Chain A
């Protein structure tokens, strides 16, 4: 995707800047942008290391497993086809817990494993089942409890209160998650 978008951005803006004579601004923005990227990365570095370390602790305790159990009634509601299959239910809820805790690196492999297990039960191998559909759409929601990356970005931009956005993010996430589930039901009927 970026292989197409990136050159379009560059070609479009560079040629426009040359035509409109906006070259001084463009030149300084090129250098500013590279140092902005470095500054942001340095700021992200601290938060990402801290958060990954904390989540590694969560991963090695029974904390994750306990949360997984809490989630199982919701999974049964969302993916009724999987009611009988305990293993798939567990894989789905582990993926969701990893997402909630912001363990992006752990969430994706767990999610792919769940997809493979669901594919085994799939009668039509080239088409998504209802459960797979719900599962993928939920994974496109950012159900992270602490939006660490945004907090780090806000901090690096000199915000007076970087964590101020946590509550608004929760509300937006919950509304989007409900919209996700409902849009599946509505579009399915159409």
Chain B
């Protein structure tokens, strides 16, 4: 397990190191370029802030009103069959539909069950390994005005489910 941890921790510093060395060798004005990109990052976060506020309120309300527990209660028997933790279910359902929505749900799950707990790890892994499938398909097909999308949605959702089941499995093995 310590090797896995080492690789996980090495990934980010190593990537940054390689890129900066590359920039220096190619005589790029590294810091100016960095600032240019960092300013863009500022804009991205500010643009998703209103979405996050709206969704955090909605998801907080689902949780605090107690209705989420009722929904989870009903689907738990079904999930137990495939050994999928019911705490993760709200995230699994929202992840393909909304990017910022799933950030809100994932944060909610981590807060409730602990970020370093098994459930928190699974939520993190699912967030990192899946995309907003419906949104991606929508923009890619609409930009070329294609109506007959064949089985693209089905194939992508099947793969999302596989990704989520693997996330649960690998976090169970690691803990």
Contact = CB atoms under 8 A, between A and B. Distances in A.
Interface of A: 1-2, 5-6, 9-10, 12-14, 16-17, 20, 22, 25-26, 28-30, 32-34, 36-38, 40-41, 44-45, 48-63, 105, 108, 111-112, 115-116, 118-119, 124-128, 132-133, 135-137, 139-142, 144-147, 149-151, 153-154, 157-161, 163-169, 171-173, 175-177, 179-180, 183-184, 187-188
Contact of B59 (A33, A108, A111, A159): A33
Query: What are the nearest 5 A-B pairs in CB distance?
Result: A56-B37, A176-B163, A147-B128, A52-B41, A33-B60
Contacts of A49: 38-39, 41-42, 45
Interface in B9-54: 9, 11-12, 15-16, 18-20, 22-23, 26, 28, 30, 33-42, 44-46, 48-49, 51-54
Contact of B64 (A22, A111, A128, A179): A22
A153 B116 CA distance: 12
Given A119-B144, A166-B8, 12 more contacts: A58-B22, A128-B149, A139-B131, A142-B129, A153-B124, A157-B110, A165-B125, A167-B4, A171-B170, A175-B166, A180-B155, A187-B158
A37 B60 CA distance: 11
Contacts of B128: 142, 144, 147, 150, 165-166, 169, 172-173
Chain A interface SS verdict (over half): helix
A52 B41 CA distance: 6
